[in-house]
Amino acid sequence: MNDTTQISPALSSPADLQAATTKWLNRFESLLSAGNATGLAALFATECHYRDILAFSWTLRPAAGAKEITDFLTSVQSKVQAKNFAIAETRAAPRKVTRLGIQVIEAIFKFETAVGRGHGVLRLLASNPEQAWVLLTTLDELKGYEEKIGLNRPSGDAYSRNFGGANWLDQRTRERAFEDRDPVVIVVGAGQNGLAVAARLKQQEIDTLVVDKYPRIGDNWRVRYHSLALHNQIHVNHLPYMPFPPSWPKYIPKDMLGNWLEMYAEAMQLNCWSGTEFTKGSYDPATKRWTVTLKRADGSERVMHPHHVIFSNGTSGIARIPDLPGLKDFAGDVFHSHGFKNGAPWSGKKAMVLGTGNSGHDIAQDLYSNKVDTTIIQRGSTTVVSIDPSAKLNYALYEEGPSLEDCDLIATATTYPLLIRAYQAATQRMIGLDKDLIAALKARGFKYDLGEDETGHQMKYRRRGGGYYLNAGCSDLIIEKEIGLMQFDDIEKFVPEGALMKDGTIKKADLLVLATGYHPQQEVVRRLMGDEIADRVGQVWGVGPNGELANMWSRTPQPGLWFMGGSLAQSRIYSHYVALQIKALELGLI
């Protein structure tokens, strides 16, 4: 459907913006209810984008173009029965903003379906507010199964002043032990993703057990290298239900985060077994249950039969050790970055770090700070971005004023084509802000790139989980030649003393750290569940055929198998939708 040539008068007052939004929503609901695809299509601009999260599709489903969008909506409306579309009074009011260079009226609305209630985001063209450029619909809650929070919180009668009976601690101890039952869900990994989805499932009253191989909850952060801190700011990193204290630093140190995760698990009353390893699992399609084996810290094993298994052990879990020529001959110490703690034991010695992602750079800087003669080895071109100001550009939305809840919803409205354009625009701004840094790195011989389509580090993260560095100071040390730089292509092989270069010289080293990344999650599934399930699931993480992250946060080709991965912000946002899907499956709604 083409845009009309008539341009509406400029809308500026809050009343005008609300009226334009309400008019569109009313027409949308009327035409949707009538199944009028032709009329509905007229409400969308020539270029338009739609993303549904569970409300109409029970999955993460993008669409583009008026025909594709309206054909889908009208095909499912008789079952979905979406109605009562209206501006969400308790959320950010409709406002005029510019997104990707397009001035729009951006509004948050509410609606309900036959089974639940939801919110959405609408972006109307400011030049023609009768047409939508972007539409998002999400399911927030299932009717009759609302989260037990706020005014709906539990009464506590089951254990309050229960004289002569079990108190709260007695009940929690029994609940956590699982002596007389199997959980409905087993979550593998107690990092931010595992705990976030467990907290969401708790609110859906889904019996859940979180297992983690480390002795304490939070150790997955504590055991990492000594100097690690988050590279993005605190205001985008809160977990569900419990924001970080306002007194916390902008960039959270690893041990502080680890301690918070441990406290969070206790405060949210999550059932966690630390020191417990998921060793194998198989699925019975007849019973729709898993048989999983858990190995406890004392060596004992427990076999359980959950309905669902959620892998929340990161976007990758098994260290990748490349087959490097001559590595077995190297006489020094060799570590993968996953096992590196700090550089103090090698003070006064020589070290090489293979890999120029975040871990490689941070470890090289840690070694240098411990007076280790350090050289970083670059295998392929890398995107380097300053933490401040450039990396902050991608989180500018969270500094615009709306609440965290509203920002999460607005951010979720972005589909893959818009994401590409947004990251390309941000990358162009980064190039300008970081031009001196980039020029100096290139002059030093550092191989630099902006990603395959100049989308920078953010799309590298989504596509492959690496290949970039957010500069915490190591780039400056490389430029100043305080940290050495070598290209892997110049190495013939490793020898006992270090690296034999193709020119015949030997670069001596006492330590080699392999910052060479991790195997993808599909390999984790293959080792724990076998080839058949791994092949059925396919790619995990990376961009899938429809632009969504492959097999993340939604049902996979293997029934009962789920994946949670990504940043703290992603865990906060998408854990909600994973929990809702599992609840809907348990209720027979899907």
Residue 3 has pLDDT above 60, yes or no: no
Nearest to 213 by CA among 302, 273, 265: 273
Q: Is residue 297, in this structure, part of any structural domain at all?
A: yes
Q: How far apart are CA 181 and CA 33, in angstroms?
A: 45
> Is 558 found in the same domain as 467?
no
- Do 443 and 329 sit in the same domain of this protein? yes
The tens digit of pLDDT for each residue in 227-270 reads 888 988 999 999 999 999 999 999 999 999 999 999 999 999 99
Residue from 504, 441, 496, 497 nearest 474 by CA: 441
Give the CA angle between residues 58, 61, 65 to the nearest 5°.
140
Do 387 and 491 sit in the same domain of this protein? Answer: yes
* Cα gap 277→241, rounded to integer Å: 28
Is 313 a residue whose pLDDT tops 70?
Answer: yes
Q: What is the rounded distance in angstroms from the CA atom of residue 381 to the CA atom of residue 446?
A: 8
Count: domains in the chain: 3
CATH number for the domain that contains residue 495: 3.50.50.60
CATH number of residue 74's parent domain: 3.10.450.50
Cα torsion 406, 407, 408, 412: sign: positive
- With respect to residue 174, please indicate whether it lies within any of the assigned structural domains: no
Q: Judge whether 86 and 22 are in contact, CB under 8 Å.
A: yes
Check whether residue 483 and residue 422 sit in a common domain: yes
Q: Is the pLDDT of residue 8 over 70?
A: no
The answer to whether residues 305 and 327 belong to one domain is: no
Domain boundaries, position 453: 322-516
Q: How far is CA 257 from the centre of its chain?
A: 16
Angle between helices 416-433 and 456-464 in degrees, nearest 10: 130
Q: Residue 2 CB: number of other CB atoms within 10 A?
A: 9
| Final residue before a domain boundary, out of 492, 516, 540 | 516
Average pLDDT over residues 376-405: 93
Reduce the DSSP state of residue 133 to 3 states and report it.
Answer: strand
* DSSP state string for 205-269: T--EEEE-SSSSTTHHHHTS-TT-B-SS-GGG-PPSS-PPPTTS-SS-BHHHHHHHHHHHHHHTT
The percentage of the chain sitting over the pLDDT mark of 90, rounded to a whole number, equals 88
Tokens of 464: 């492959």
Q: What percent of the chain has pLDDT over 70?
A: 97
Domain end marker among 142, 169, 191: 142
Backbone angles phi, psi at 576, to 5 degrees: -60, -45
Residue in 327, 339, 373, 331 with CA at minimum distance from that of residue 492: 327
Q: Are residues 336 and 484 in the same domain?
A: yes
Question: Which of 118, 142, 166 finishes a domain?
Answer: 142
Is residue 410 domain-resident? yes
* pLDDT tens sequence across 87-113: 999 999 999 999 999 999 999 999 999
d(CA 237, CA 514): 28
So what's the pLDDT on residue 2?
34
Q: 0.85 cut: is pTM over it? A: yes
Sign for the pseudo-dihedral over CA of 254, 259, 262, 263:
negative
**494 and 347: one domain?**
yes
> Is 26 within a domain?
yes
Same domain, 282 and 335: no
- Residue 396 counted as domain residue: yes
User: Is a pLDDT exceeding 60 seen at residue 9?
Assistant: no
Confidence check: pLDDT of 355 > 80:
yes
Clarify whether residues 452 and 366 are in a common domain: yes
Q: Tell me if 358 is assigned to some domain.
A: yes
Query: Does residue 278 lie in a domain region?
Result: yes
Q: Could you tell me if 263 and 309 lie in one domain?
A: yes
- Residue-level pLDDT at 316: 53
State the pLDDT at residue 420: 96
73 falls within a domain: yes
**429 and 524 share a domain?**
no
Please tell me whether residues 530 and 504 are part of one structural domain. no
- Measured CA to CA, the distance from residue 266 to residue 313 in angstroms comes to 19
